[in-house]
Copies of this chain bind each other. A is one copy, B any other.
Amino acid sequence: MKGVILTIAPSASIVDVTHEIEKFNIKMGAFILASAAPYFPKGTVHLAVIDPGVGTERRGIVIETNQGYFVGPDNGLLMLAAETQKIIRIHQLTNPKLMLPKISGTFHGRDVFAPAAAYLQRGVKPEEFGLEIKDAVKPEFAQVQQSGNCIIGRVLMVDSFGNIITNISSEKLTKSAKTLLLVNINNHELKLTLKRAYGEVKPAEALALIGSHGFLEIALNQGNAAEKYQAKMDMKITVSQNSR
């Protein structure tokens, strides 16, 4: 893919964000992309490929926002990030003149998306790639439920440190160090207070914090929380907040 990009757009500056998304895990990819995209310069072309449907009828798309472009499969991967910006328009990638001459059935990253990203970097406009669409697939992320002081969310992902990242955003929580959080995950009952950093508790001790992504995170200082509590993606997590 990088060879294709540099062949079409020799001056492109290519940055690897990550190659460590779990296979086929669109949700995790969407989350990482949404976390990273806001920190890139205006005009950046973001290219992402997690593509269980490659070669089937799923569409390839380019999303233009007020901050830049997103290129990839129309399976929800791009939309979480794009929706944090202002979406201007979405076009399909169907113009064969803006693809490699020979398209394999299994590697659209190289044959379709990399050329599209490179042509966008060179100034080609979204409408030249294909028709505008209005029905791009949105990621179906587990919604947070709230009743009284109780919040029911889900594990969004476990990072490589074993930190449990939930889909409970910081706005749902009382950010007071005096508030006791009763957390239930996988039948483990934890009494935690919100910390600002892992190092505020002893090594191996559990804590709750708002992670760098803006979501509630359950972690062990220098330990693996997911392993300790056998937490996995999509698991239910309940949090009740009690002032002390």
List A residues at the B interface (Cβ < 8 Å): 1-4, 6-7, 10, 13-17, 23-24, 36-37, 39-41, 44, 52-56, 58, 104-107, 110-111, 160-161, 195-200, 209-212, 221-222
A28 CB to closest chain B CB (Å) equals 15
9 of the cross-chain contacts (CB-CB < 8 Å) are A3-B37, A3-B41, A3-B44, A23-B160, A52-B198, A55-B198, A105-B209, A105-B210, A107-B212
CA distance A106 to B2 in the complex (A): 30
Decide if the interface of chain A is mainly helix, strand, loop or mixed: loop
Given contacts A6-B15, A7-B41, A106-B209, contact A54 B198 (CB under 8 A): yes
Q: Which residues of B contact A195 (CB under 8 A)?
A: 105
A16 B13 Cβ-Cβ under 8 A: no
CA distance A36 to B199 in the complex (A): 29
| Contact partner, A3, options B3, B14, B39, B56, Cβ 8 Å | B39
Closest to A162 in B: B23
A156 CB to closest chain B CB (Å) equals 16
| Contact partner, A7, options B40, B53, B197, B198, Cβ 8 Å | B40
B53 A199 Cβ-Cβ under 8 A: yes
Closest to A39 in B: B3
A116 CB to closest chain B CB (Å) equals 15
Q: Which residues of B contact A212 (CB under 8 A)?
A: 104, 106-107, 110-111
Q: Which residues of B contact A110 (CB under 8 A)?
A: 39, 212
